[in-house]
Amino acid sequence: MAEDKYSILLPTYNERENLPIIVWLLEKHLCDVNHEVIIIDDGSPDKTLDVAKELQKIYGKDKIVLRPREKKLGLGTAYIHGIKHATGNFVIIMDADLSHHPKFIPEFIKKQKDGDFDIVSGTRYSGSGGVYGWDLKRKIISRGANYVTQILLRPGASDLTGSFRLYRKEVLEKLVKACVSKGYVFQMEMIVRARQFGFTIGEVPISFVDRVYGESKLGGSEIIQFAKGLLYLFATT
Ligand code: GDD
Ligand code: MN
């Protein structure tokens, strides 16, 4: 059997302070693992792409792959764009703002192997998982979204809106094709569809730490989109 390879998708929008740290941490924690990091920058005004190019010079073109786009086209389509260029048989998606710590990735990999899972999802809402640094409003939104979705769709995973996950590549491709939503609701739809298809999901508790540098791109319109997406899935699945 060929050795497993892991493609890490890092979507970035204005992450110039965070990118060197996340890449350094990834290389530190994945030194024993065959991997590549695919950076999908959407024309960040803070010139994140220039930083990414410097990192590529340091770590090499086989480790750091750049797949930029001209302008901000959203997180969902950034993943779709990244998957097309992934050469690994497993794909890991995570945020680039240090909210998702690379130290958990070896645990994801172990979990996948132990249970032969199709998906391993990082969870803030089970076991030792948690959220640090969010204000009450943000906590309520996230908890609320998870709670309502649990009741309406019974998806069989504890963290539906999180985006720190490992997928078999062919599973991710199939799910992405099946998903209709873009934006923030995308993560939740992926898990709901996974259950429809009968894919198996393992969970690893993670601590999510709010970003230090830069700003979240979550706003009121994303919350409305989420609610619409949830109702759509409730009506159609
Ligand atoms: N390429 C690209 N294009 N990247 C983007 C875009 C975009 O339009 N929008 C955001 N990103 C990148 C950010 O640079 C970061 O690496 C990651 O996507 C997450 O964006 P944040 O703005 O930091 O998201 P958040 O912290 O508010 O939301 C997180 O928690 C949500 C709820 O748990 C993310 O993990 C969401 O996916 C999650 O749903
Ligand atoms: Mn964030």
Distance 42 CA to ligand 2 centre (A): 16
Nearest-CA neighbor of 161 among 63, 72, 87, 227?
227
Instruction: Give the model confidence (pLDDT) of 48-73 as tens digits.
Output: 999 999 999 999 999 999 999 999 99
Distance 94 CA to ligand 1 centre (A): 9
Inter-residue contact 34 to 63 (CB < 8 Å)? no
Question: Would you call 171 helix, strand, or coil by DSSP?
Answer: helix
**Rounded CA gap, 163 and 43, in Å?**
22
Q: Which residue has the higher pLDDT, 140 or 165?
A: 165
Q: Look at residue 1 in the predicted model and tell me its pLDDT.
A: 55
Q: Look at residue 30 in the predicted model and tell me its pLDDT.
A: 97
Confidence band of 156 (pLDDT split at 50, 70, 90): confident
- Of 9, 100, 217, 222, the one to substitute when testing ligand 1's pocket (max ligand atoms within 8 A of C-beta) is 217
Asked whether the CA dihedral 66, 11, 26, 215 is positive or negative, the reply is positive
Ligand nearest to the CA of 185: 1
Q: Is the pLDDT of residue 198 over 90?
A: yes
Domains present along the chain, CATH in parentheses:
6-236 (3.90.550.10)
**Per-residue pLDDT averaged across 71-85, rounded?**
91
Distance 3 CA to ligand 1 centre (A): 31
Strand 165-168 vs strand 207-209: parallel, antiparallel, or unpaired?
A: unpaired
- Of 71, 75, 77, the one to substitute when testing ligand 1's pocket (max ligand atoms within 8 A of C-beta) is 75
Q: Which residue has the higher pLDDT, 208 or 235?
A: 208
Confidence band of 212 (pLDDT split at 50, 70, 90): confident
Q: Is the pLDDT of residue 85 over 90?
A: yes
**Per-residue pLDDT averaged across 72-86, rounded?**
91
Instruction: Give the model confidence (pLDDT) of 98-155 as tens digits.
Output: 999 999 999 999 999 999 999 999 999 999 999 999 889 889 889 888 888 888 888 8
> What atom in ligand 1 is closest to the CA of residue 188?
39
> How much of the chain exceeds pLDDT 90, in percent?
69
Distance 130 CA to ligand 1 centre (A): 18
Confidence band of 222 (pLDDT split at 50, 70, 90): confident
Whole-structure pTM value: 0.93
Ligand nearest to the CA of 95: 1
What's the CA dihedral at 13, 19, 22, 25 to 10 degrees?
160
- Biggest CA-to-CA distance, the chain: 50
Question: Measuring from each residue's beta carbon to the nearest atom of ligand 1, which residues come in under 6 Å?
Answer: 11-13, 15, 40-42, 72, 74-75, 78, 95-97, 99, 142, 161-163, 184, 187, 211, 216-218
Question: Would you call 61 helix, strand, or coil by DSSP?
Answer: coil
> What atom in ligand 1 is closest to the CA of residue 10?
16
